C-alpha cells in the first residue's frame, strides 16, 4: 500500500529504446528504470560476495555487478550466479579471457570498457560468444580511461569523444551480428556526464546506463550522482542507473531506489519519511523525533510515507498527502492518517505510537484504520491547536515584525541613499 506517486507522469516522456534482458530484468523499451550496484568483496570469496549481493538486493538493487579479474574470480562466479537473488554482471577490464570465463560461469551480463580492452579481434570474439549465449553486454565508456587516440583526436574527454568510443565498439559488435547492448558514457564531471548522455541519446537507440563515475563519498558523492542522474531521468533519458560512491555499496542501491521513487519512476518499496523544518511554534525537538522515527521505521521496509510535524496548528493539513503522520501539541502527539486526526498520545510515546500505527496501516489498510480512529481525538487536537495559536500567535517566527522593521528602516533613508 502507500501513496501512489504520479510525478513520473509529469516528467518528459521516456525515450524509446530497444529492449534487452539481463537475466529476468528488462532494460529499455518502456521497462521500469532499474537500479544497479557493484560488490566490493573479492569475487573468489563466494560466501562474502553472496552476503553482499543479498544486502544489495534487499536495499533495492535489481542487478549486481561483480569484478572478474582473475581465474579465482571466474570460479567464484560459477558458484555465485546460481545462488544469487538478482542477475549478476561480470565486470571486465583488460583481459578478454576473463570475459569468456565469466560467460562459462553463467553470468547474465558483461561490462566491457573500450578504453581498456582494445584489440578488435578479442572484442569480436567476446561479442560472438555473448551472442551465442544470449548474454547482453554493456559498452562501459569512462572519461578516465578513454583510448589515447580518441583523447588526442578530440582534445580531451569531450562528449563527442565518449560517444565515439561507444560507436566504435558497437560497430565491432555489429560486424559479428551482436546488438544485445546497453551503453554508458560516464564521467566524474557532472556537466560532462550530462552532455555526453544527451549526445548518446541522440546517437543511439540502445538503452542507456546512467552514472556519475568516481563521485566520491557521501554526502558530496550523493549530490553529484543525483545531480547527473536525476537531470537526465527528468529529460526522459536513461534506462538503468548506478550511484558510484566511496561507501558501502548498500548506500548506492538504497540511493538509486529512493531516487526513482522520488521521481515517481518506481512504486514505493520502502519508507519515505518527511518532516517540517521546525519553527518557533514547535513544541518538540523535530529533528530528534524525526531521527528516532527514521531509525525505528526504516528497517521494517514499510512502503508508506510518514510525516513528522512540529506542531498541530498546520502539521496535519500541510502533510495531508502522507499516509501517516504525527504532529506535536503541548506534551502530546497528534497521530493523523491522510490528514485526519485518529489518536492523541503522550509526548514520550510519539515514536512508539507512530511505529505501531504504521505497521497496522500496512496490514489493515487506510480505511480500516480511519474507521478505528478515537472519536474524541479530533476535538482534542482542535482544542490544542486553538490553545497553541493563542499562546504563539499566527506568526511564531515574528516574520511580520521583522518585515515592518525592514520597511521602516528603508523608509528612513535619505534621498541620497535611495538610488
Q: How far apart are the first and last CA of the chain?
A: 59
Shared domain check, 234 and 94: yes
Q: What is the pLDDT of residue 70?
A: 92
DSSP letter at 139 equals E
Ramachandran area for residue 111 (φ above 0: left; ψ -120 to 50: alpha; else beta): beta
Q: Are residues 202 and 119 in the same domain?
A: yes
Of 67-71, 103-107, 108-112, 324-328, the poorest mean pLDDT is in 324-328
Burial (0-12, 13-18, 19+ Cβ within 10 Å), 141 = buried
CA dihedral over 356, 303, 307, 343, signed as positive or negative: negative
> Do 310 and 329 belong to one domain?
yes
Q: Residue 343 belongs to a domain with what CATH number?
A: 3.30.413.10
The pLDDT tens digits of the residues spanning 220-248 come to 999 999 999 999 999 999 999 999 999 99
Is residue 119 located within the same domain as residue 209? yes
CA angle 95, 101, 103 (to 5 degrees): 115
The answer, yes or no, to whether residue 415 has pLDDT greater than 60, is: yes
Residue, of 402 and 188, whose pLDDT is higher: 188
Q: What is the pLDDT of residues 301-318, one digit of tens each?
A: 788 888 888 777 767 777
Residues 25, 142 share a domain: yes
CA atoms within 13 A on the CB side of 183: 29
Domain membership of residue 418 (yes or no) is no
Looking at residue 277, its pLDDT comes to: 66
Is 304 in the same domain as 238? no
Residue 157 lies in a domain: yes
- Which of the listed residues 232, 262, 292 is the one where a domain comes to its end? 262
Query: What pTM was computed for the model?
Result: 0.79
* The pLDDT of residue 280: 61
Is there a domain that residue 60 lies in?
yes
Question: Has residue 398 been placed in a domain?
Answer: no
In the predicted structure, residue 29 carries a pLDDT above the cut 50: yes
Same domain (yes/no): 254, 281 = no
Among 262, 288, 310, the domain-final residue is 262
Highest mean pLDDT among 105-109, 294-298, 321-325: 105-109
* Alpha helix stretches (DSSP H) within 325-376: 350-364, 366-371
Domain-embedded: residue 405: no
In a domain, 306, yes or no: yes
Calpha distance 302→268 (Å, rounded): 9
Determine what percent of the chain is predicted with pLDDT higher than 70: 91
Backbone dihedral region of 331: left (phi > 0), alpha (psi from -120 to 50 degrees) or beta? left
Predicted confidence (pLDDT) per residue in 90-101, tens digit? 999 889 999 999
Q: Is residue 267 part of a domain?
A: no
Q: What is the pLDDT of residues 277-288, one digit of tens each?
A: 666 656 677 788
Average pLDDT, the chain: 89
Shared-domain flag, residues 162 and 303: no
Q: What's the CA gap between 108 and 89, in Å, rounded?
A: 6
Which pLDDT value is given to residue 2? 43
User: Contact at 8 Å (CB) between 200 and 208?
Assistant: yes
Map grid coordinates 508508506 to a residue. Answer: 304
Q: Three-class SS of residue 54?
A: helix
What domain range is 119 assigned to?
7-262
Same domain membership, residue 97 and residue 145: yes
Nearest to 208 by CA among 192, 189, 190, 186: 186
Residue-wise pLDDT tens digits, 121-156: 999 999 999 999 999 999 999 998 899 999 999 999
Summarize the confidence of residues 13-37 as an average pLDDT.
97
Residue 329 has pLDDT above 80, yes or no: no
pLDDT of amino acid 5: 43
Q: How far apart are CA 311 and CA 163, in angstroms?
A: 53
253 lies in some domain: yes
For range 187-208, the mean pLDDT: 98
- Are residues 244 and 319 located together in one domain of the fold? no
211 and 278 inside one domain: no
- 253 pLDDT band, cuts 50/70/90, is very high
Q: In the chain, how many domains are there?
A: 2
Q: 148 near 156, Cβ under 8 Å?
A: no
Please check whether residues 67 and 171 belong to one and the same domain: yes
State the pLDDT at residue 204.
Answer: 97
270: cell is 520502502
Amino acid at each position: 500500500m502507500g501513496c501512489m506517486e504520479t510525478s513520473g507522469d509529469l516528467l518528459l516522456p521516456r525515450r524509446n529504446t530497444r529492449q534487452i534482458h539481463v537475466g529476468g530484468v528488462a532494460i529499455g523499451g518502456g521497462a521500469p528504470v532499474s537500479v544497479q550496484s557493484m560488490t566490493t568483496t573479492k569475487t573468489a570469496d563466494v560466501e562474502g560476495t553472496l552476503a553482499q549481493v543479498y544486502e544489495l538486493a534487499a536495499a533495492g538493487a535489481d542487478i549486481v555487478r561483480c569484478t572478474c579479474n582473475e581465474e579465482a574470480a571466474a570460479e567464484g562466479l560459477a558458484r555465485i550466479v546460481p545462488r544469487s537473488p538478482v542477475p549478476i554482471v561480470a565486470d571486465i577490464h583488460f583481459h578478454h579471457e576473463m570475459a569468456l570465463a565469466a560467460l562459462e560461469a553463467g553470468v547474465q551480463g558483461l561490462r566491457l570498457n573500450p578504453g581498456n580492452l582494445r584489440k578488435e579481434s578479442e572484442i569480436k570474439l567476446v561479442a560472438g560468444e555473448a551472442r551465442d549465449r544470449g548474454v547482453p553486454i554493456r559498452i562501459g565508456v569512462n572519461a578516465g580511461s578513454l583510448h589515447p587516440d580518441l583523447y588526442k583526436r578530440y582534445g580531451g574527454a569531450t562528449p563527442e569523444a565518449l560517444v565515439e568510443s561507444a560507436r566504435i565498439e558497437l560497430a565491432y559488435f555489429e560486424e559479428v551480428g551482436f546488438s544485445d547492448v546497453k551503453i554508458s558514457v560516464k564521467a566524474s564531471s557532472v556537466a560532462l556526464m550530462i552532455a555526453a548522455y544527451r549526445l548518446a541519446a541522440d546517437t543511439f537507440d540502445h538503452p542507456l546506463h546512467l552514472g556519475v563515475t568516481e563521485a566520491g563519498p557521501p554526502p558530496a558523492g550523493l549530490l553529484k550522482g543525483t545531480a547527473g542522474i536525476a537531470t537526465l531521468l527528468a529529460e526522459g533519458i536513461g534506462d538503468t542507473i548506478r550511484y558510484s560512491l566511496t561507501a558501502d555499496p548498500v548506500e548506492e542501491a538504497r540511493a538509486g531506489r529512493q531516487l526513482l521513487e522520488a521521481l515517481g519512476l518506481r512504486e514505493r518499496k520502502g519508507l519515505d519519511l518527511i518532516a517540517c523544518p521546525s519553527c518557533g511554534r514547535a513544541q518538540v525537538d523535530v529533528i530528534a523525533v524525526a531521527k528516532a522515527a527514521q531509525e525505528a521505521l526504516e528497517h521494517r521496509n514499510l512502503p508508506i510515507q510518514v510525516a513528522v510535524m512540529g506542531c498541530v496548528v498546520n502539521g496535519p493539513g500541510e502533510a495531508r498527502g502522507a499516509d501517516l503522520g504525527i504532529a506535536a501539541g503541548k506534551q502530546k502527539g497528534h497521530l493523523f492518517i491522510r490528514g485526519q486526526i485518529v489518536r492523541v498520545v503522550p509526548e514520550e510515546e510519539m515514536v512508539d505510537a507512530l511505529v505501531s500505527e504504521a505497521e497496522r496501516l500496512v496490514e489493515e489498510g487506510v480505511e480500516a484504520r480511519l474507521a478505528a480512529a478515537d472519536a474524541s481525538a479530533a476535538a482534542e487536537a482542535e482544542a490544542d491547536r486553538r490553545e497553541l495559536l493563542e499562546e504563539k500567535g499566527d506568526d511564531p517566527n515574528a516574520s511580520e515584525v521583522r518585515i515592518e522593521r525592514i520597511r521602516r528602516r528603508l523608509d528612513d533613508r535619505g534621498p541620497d541613499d535611495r538610488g
